[in-house]
Amino acid sequence: MSKDAMDSEAEELHGAALIAEKVKTLPDSPGVYRMLKSNGDVLYVGKARSLKKRVTSYTKLAGHSNRIARMISSTEAMEFITTATETDALLLEANLIKQLKPRYNVLLRDDKSFPYILLTSDHDYPQVVKHRGSRSRDGDYFGPFASAGSVTRTLNTLQRAFLLRSCTDSVFDARTRPCLLYQIKRCSAPCTGEISKEDYAELVSESRDFLQGKSRRTQEHLADLMEAASAKLDFEGAAIYRDRIRALTNIQSHQGINPQSVTDADVFAIAEDSGQTCVQVFFFRGGQNWGNRAYFPRHEKGFTPSEVLDAFLAQFYDERPAPPKIFLSTDVPGRTLLGEALSIRAERRIAVSVPQRGEKRELVEHALRNAMDALARRLAESATQRKLLNELAEIFGLDTPPERIEVYDNSHIQGTNQVGGMIVAGPEGFLKNQYRKFNIKGDDIEPGDDYGMMRQVLTRRFTRLLKESAAAAEADGSAETLEQSVDEKRANGWPDIILIDGGMGQLSVTMEVMTELGIDNVTVVSIAKGPDRNAGRERFFMPGRSPFSLPDKSPALYFLQRLRDEAHRFAIGSHRARRAKQAKSNPLDNVPGVGAARKRALLHHFGSAKAVSRAGLTDLSSVEGISEKVAKAVYDHFHGTPD
């Protein structure tokens, strides 16, 4: 057999046969493997202590669950990365899963960063603020907190108890008299010298102790100061200490569970029911409960709770610092490996355990009860959502309940900053990571032309969708885009229903776009507010049907109103953000050759961008750092290049 024939035969292999061929050249070393489809889509990412031994287990379909068997059969290509250790493989696997989102892996669907409290150290009078993102600013970071609300409550306590400033450095430097926060006893006003540097430093030290879990000691110290002030008949000073003690007592009474034997720890509990899973996470820092959050990881059927939690933990700590102790409700296969990997990354010991008794077990059981309650609420909401989707299918004449609904709306003010918005909803509610905004482009649309805006938004959206679906169909060797099955189209992101905010005019424009693009198998509905724009009297327009309304108290009507209102909210928010960005823009931003330093030099010299625009060529050249060439570019930008 020729080499070309052998290569061709290797390319045609798939499933277990392909995997068996790959095993022949794999090393007996740690690493990460990826199973892929022919178009490059990743099906599964896995780690192994020995790539050869692990991948060998996939060379036969027998002995696997249906999920694994389907995964093996769908594999048309594989990629491998060797690592120095198994812990490196674990960390790389978690990173790749979060990036690639493979179908057959457990996926953590919430990548939002947690908020922290930052006590700055780059100023003589430190500032206390809420912080998200990278730790680029000097200071002490306390957290994570489960939500922004938890941070806000703690910051309010810090302001009442320790009177620390929250203003920015620029505001601090510009103050000539105390602000309102000083008047309501939320700040000690170091900006105007109402407190000495030494006394403010003492407040900062006390607040640091509080955030590190030494609140009882701080409270006792304040009690001593209050008694001393009372003994000196300084009742006003004693009242200030009393108010600070009350603030500390208030937050301690609202912490819920405050463990006595646990200082810094994360508690994970997992509950499973009806094929869905909930992971509840509680955060304890400095002996205080800093909140909890529920996660609902996505996974194929067949995963055990232990397997889900194992995969969840590695992804959860992929970009987050871990506390010294991690408590689990269920033991996981990779518990020891996870502890080693997190310890290496943190350069300190991190223990991952499953408590069996005592206060630690009580914390886990409390988290487990919360996980079960959250999952029960989720299932109830899912059942309600499914019922609503069934009603929509009946109302709009669909064969099956819709899996994806796209809602479109536009926003502008007298034709300026025109923005189109698309929101997406499905069986699990609003899919906010799939929302899209469209900045209206081109001069062919008259300001305020709602029909023209809608035409552009829909044309851009579905032209792109057609291209993506065609590429996917070509890679899979399947039918043409418009002839794909319902499941294939849904997998490629096609909506079952397009909901347009508007009346017959918007419906006509939408159908024109669909006809021009050759799309005739997507249900299009336009929803118009009733007389006097009263909610509850909406009229619905569909091709080939007379306009109709739904009963006033119909759950489906309320659901459609929520969809329309969410699209309206998103479009207005996008418009306001664009308008705010434009308001903050500077005419010098668009001058070629003028960067931040030269812009700063021009503004310092002339005082404003308007003054720069009026300046002559000689005056511009006299500014330090502005050459004659740059000065001419600035002058020409505002006055036009002479013919």
Tally of helices (H runs) and strands (E runs) in the chain: 22, 18
pLDDT digits (tens, 9 = 90+) for 188-199: 899 998 989 998
For the whole model, what pTM was predicted? 0.67
| pLDDT tens digits for range 395-419 | 998 888 998 999 998 876 655 668 8
pLDDT band with cut points at 50, 70 and 90 for residue 542: very high
- What is the rounded average pLDDT for all residues in the chain? 82
pLDDT tens digits, 207-219:
887 777 665 566 6
The pLDDT of residue 113 is 73
Q: What mean pLDDT is predicted for residues 492-498?
A: 86
Percentages of the chain per state (helix, strand, coil), in multiples of 5 = 50, 15, 35
Q: Which element (helix H / strand E) includes 525?
A: strand 523-528
Instruction: Give the separation between CA 39 and CA 149, rounded to whole angstroms.
Output: 44
| Per-residue pLDDT tens digits for 65-94 | 888 888 998 899 999 999 999 999 998 999
565 & 596 share domain = no
**475 part of a folded domain:** yes
pLDDT at 547 over 60: yes
One domain for residues 517 and 460: yes
Give bridge partners of residue 325 from the DSSP assignment: 265, 351
Residues 458 and 544 occupy one common structural domain: yes
- Tokens standing for residue 462: 């579905």
- At residue 332, the pLDDT reads 93
**CA 505-510-516 angle, 5° bins:** 130
Residue 6: pLDDT over 60? no
- Rg (C-alpha) for the chain, rounded Å, is 31
Q: Are residues 148 and 286 in the same domain?
A: no
Average pLDDT of span 424-432: 86
Higher model confidence: residue 262 or residue 473? 262
Of the chain, the end-to-end C-alpha distance in Å amounts to 73
Q: Which two tokens stand for residue 168?
A: 């920015």
Q: 185 and 290 share a domain?
A: no
Kindly state whether residues 428 and 532 are assigned to the same domain.
yes
**Domains held by the chain: number:** 5
Tell me which of 218, 253, 288 is where a domain ends.
253
CA distances to 86, 265, 334, 608 from 350, rounded to whole Å, are: 17, 10, 14, 55
The answer to whether the CB of 212 falls within 8 A of the CB of 286 is yes
Sheet holding 276-285, edge to edge: 288-295, 276-285, 265-273, 325-328, 351-353
In 3D, which of 553, 495, 561 has the Cα closest to residue 528? 561
What is the per-residue pLDDT for 5? 44
Among 100, 124, 141, the domain boundary falls at 100
393 in any annotated domain: no
Which pLDDT score is estimated for 2?
Answer: 45
Q: Count Cα atoms within 13 angstroms, Cβ side, for 297.
A: 36
Predicted pLDDT of residue 433: 83
Angle between helices 555-584 and 358-396 (to 10 degrees): 100
In this predicted structure, what is the pLDDT of residue 407? 92
**Same-domain status, 81 and 134:** no
* C-beta of residue 455 within 8 angstroms of C-beta of residue 463: no
In a domain, 400, yes or no: no
> The domain spanning residue 271 has which CATH number?
3.30.420
Alpha carbon separation from 101 to 20, 96, 288, 319, 493 (Å, rounded) = 25, 8, 34, 16, 15
User: Cα–Cα distance between 594 and 309 in angstroms, integer?
Assistant: 53
Bridge partner residues of 295 (DSSP) = 279
pLDDT class of 9 with cuts at 50, 70, 90: very low
User: 298: which strand partners?
Assistant: 107
Confidence of residue 206 (pLDDT cuts 50, 70, 90): confident
Amino acid at residue number 131:
H
The pLDDT value recorded for residue 480 is 53
Q: Is residue 390 part of a domain?
A: no
The answer to whether residues 307 and 324 belong to one domain is yes
Q: What distance in Å separates the CA atoms of residue 298 and residue 128, rounded to the nearest whole number?
A: 37
Average pLDDT, integer, range 154-168: 82
Least confident of 299-303, 323-327, 361-365, 530-534: 530-534
578 in the same domain as 592: no
pLDDT digits (tens, 9 = 90+) for 509-541: 999 999 998 888 889 999 987 665 555 678 899
Q: Is 415 inside any structural domain?
A: yes
The amino acid present at 178, given as its one-letter code, is P
Domain CATH number, residue 482: 3.30.420.340
pLDDT digits (tens, 9 = 90+) for 386-396: 888 999 999 99
CA dist 501 and 407 (Å) reads: 8
Say whether both 144 and 245 belong to one domain: yes
Q: Round to whole Å and give the CA distance between 599 and 612.
A: 10
Distance CA 605, CA 62 (A): 79
The reply to whether 248 and 149 lie within a common domain is yes
Same domain, 124 and 207: yes
What average pLDDT does range 281-299 have in this prediction? 86
399: Cβ–Cβ under 8 A, 6 or more apart, which residues?
Answer: 393, 486
Amino acid at 584: K
Contacts of 384 (CB under 8 A, 6+ apart): none
CATH number for the domain including 79?
3.40.1440.10
The CATH number of the domain where 626 resides is what? 1.10.150.20
From CA 160, how far away is CA 139, in angstroms rounded? 21
What pLDDT is recorded for position 1?
43
Residue 500 lies in a domain: yes
Beta strands in 12-98 (DSSP E): 31-36, 42-48, 77-82
CB distance 308 to 270 below 8 Å: yes
End residue of a domain, out of 199, 230, 253? 253
d(CA 1, CA 349): 58
- For residue 392, being part of any structural domain is answered with no
- Please compute the mean of the pLDDT values over residues 632-636 and round it to a whole number: 82
219 in a structural domain: yes
pLDDT above 60 for 614: yes
Tens of pLDDT, residues 232-267: 676 766 776 676 666 555 555 444 455 667 888 999
What's residue 579's pLDDT?
A: 64
Give me the domain span that covers residue 507.
405-582
DSSP tag of 168: -
Question: Span 279-297, mean pLDDT?
Answer: 86
